[in-house]
């Protein structure tokens, strides 16, 4: 079946540090890949997505590249801010449309000033 | 564009009581999902609707959970009777398929505490 594995948290970084959150997946076919972010007390917000191999999703300084050869979709940001403190979820859907998301367990990021 | 609305935001009940959650999806979104997010875990699908029909309810504990989406717009999720392990955040999402890609948008969730 389809599954997503992401690095265990929590991750604590100083402001302006480089961020990487690892995500690997197992899926049949060619999934679409997503990163969602959940700020304290709020629902999930779509951060970025990629729908085919070698696509790069980007938003708010975050990037992730769909790597089919390594079945990975690692999230990166060059310089984190305190406001980036949140829980980040990697997720996939199969590429047939109208299918539920399969999520990883989430990685909590804390950025300190 | 208005987002996915959910109510209530918080609910505290005792075990064996009943509770209902409401969701109003983004206008025009035919597909609606209910997910359960237990503390420290990623969300897991409970049920998926396409318009007012059920597409997937294989993970819904049907002995206590029920859901409906009358008229293909709003949806309600009910738990009767609640158990301690039902304490979680219940997320509603709606989606639109564009160019074969299904992008889901989530509401703020309802945090349920069962005592």
pLDDT at A70 over 80: yes
Question: Under an 8 A CB cutoff, do B43 and A95 touch?
Answer: no
B1 band by pLDDT with thresholds 50, 70 and 90:
low
Cβ atoms B24, B4 nearer than 8 A: yes
Residues comprising chain A, all counted: 113
Nearest CA in chain B to A99: B102
Q: DSSP readout, A70-105?
A: TTB--EEESS--GGG-EEEEEEEE-TTSS---EE--
Q: Give start and end residues of each alpha helix (H) in chain B.
A: none
CA distance B100 to chain A (A): 5
Q: How many CB atoms lie within 10 A of CB B33?
A: 27
Pairing of strands B10-13, B110-114: parallel
Q: Which residues of A touch B53 (CB under 8 A)?
A: none
Query: B35-52 pLDDT, tens per residue?
Result: 999 998 899 999 999 988
CA distance B17 to chain A (A): 25
Mutation to test the A interface, candidates B48, B96, B101, B107, most A Cβ within 10 Å: B101
pLDDT at A43 (0 to 100): 86
pLDDT at B14 (0 to 100): 97
CA distance A90 to chain B (A): 9
Question: Under an 8 A CB cutoff, do B103 and A49 touch?
Answer: yes
Cβ atoms A94, A13 nearer than 8 A: no
* Pick from A35-39, A41-45, B26-30, B34-38: least confident: A41-45
pLDDT at B12 over 70: yes
pLDDT at B76 (0 to 100): 97
pLDDT at A59 (0 to 100): 96
pLDDT at A96 over 70: no
Cβ atoms A25, A4 nearer than 8 A: yes
pLDDT at A47 (0 to 100): 97
Both tokens of A96, joined, read: 């047939």
Q: How many CB atoms lie within 10 A of CB B43?
A: 29
| Cα torsion A93, B78, A44, B112: sign | negative
Query: B49-107 pLDDT, tens per residue?
Result: 998 899 999 999 999 999 999 888 999 999 999 999 999 999 999 998 777 777 899 99
Mean pLDDT to the nearest integer, B6-29? 96
Question: Under an 8 A CB cutoff, do A43 and B109 touch?
Answer: yes
pLDDT at A97 (0 to 100): 62
- In Å, how far are A42, A109, A111, B44, B73 from B19, measured between CA atoms? 21, 33, 37, 19, 20
A40 band by pLDDT with thresholds 50, 70 and 90:
confident
Distance CA B95, CA B4 (A): 10
Distance CA B70, CA B93 (A): 16
Q: Which residues of B touch A34 (CB under 8 A)?
A: 103
pLDDT at A95 (0 to 100): 60
Nearest CA in chain A to B108: A43
Question: Under an 8 A CB cutoff, do B106 and A45 touch?
Answer: yes
Question: Under an 8 A CB cutoff, do A97 and B107 touch?
Answer: no
In 3D space, the residue among A46, A92, A102 whose CA is nearest the CA of residue A68 turns out to be A92
Give the single-character DSSP code of A54: T
pLDDT at B74 (0 to 100): 95
């Amino acid at each position: 079946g389809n599954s997503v594995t992401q690095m265990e948290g929590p991750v604590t970084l100083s402001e302006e540090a480089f961020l990487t959150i690892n995500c690997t997946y197992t899926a049949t076919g060619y999934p679409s890949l997503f990163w969602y972010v959940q700020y304290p007390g709020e629902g999930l917000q779509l951060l970025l997505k990629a729908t085919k191999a070698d696509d790069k999703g980007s938003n708010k300084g975050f990037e992730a590249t769909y790597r089919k050869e390594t079945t990975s979709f690692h999230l990166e940001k060059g310089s984190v801010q305190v406001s980036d403190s949140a829980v980040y979820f990697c997720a996939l859907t199969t590429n047939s449309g109208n299918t539920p998301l399969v999520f990883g367990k989430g990685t909590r990021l804390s950025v300190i000033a | 564009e208005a987002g996915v609305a959910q109510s209530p935001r918080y609910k505290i009940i005792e075990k064996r009581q009943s509770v209902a959650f409401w969701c109003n999806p983004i206008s025009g979104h035919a597909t609606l999902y209910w997910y359960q997010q237990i503390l420290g875990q990623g969300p897991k699908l409970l049920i998926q609707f396409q318009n007012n029909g059920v597409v997937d309810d294989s993970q819904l504990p049907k002995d206590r959970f029920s859901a409906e989406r009358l008229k293909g717009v709003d949806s309600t999720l009910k738990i009767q009777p609640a158990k301690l392990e039902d304490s979680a955040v219940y997320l509603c999402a709606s989606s639109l398929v564009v160019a074969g890609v299904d992008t889901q948008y989530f509401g703020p969730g309802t945090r349920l505490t069962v005592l």
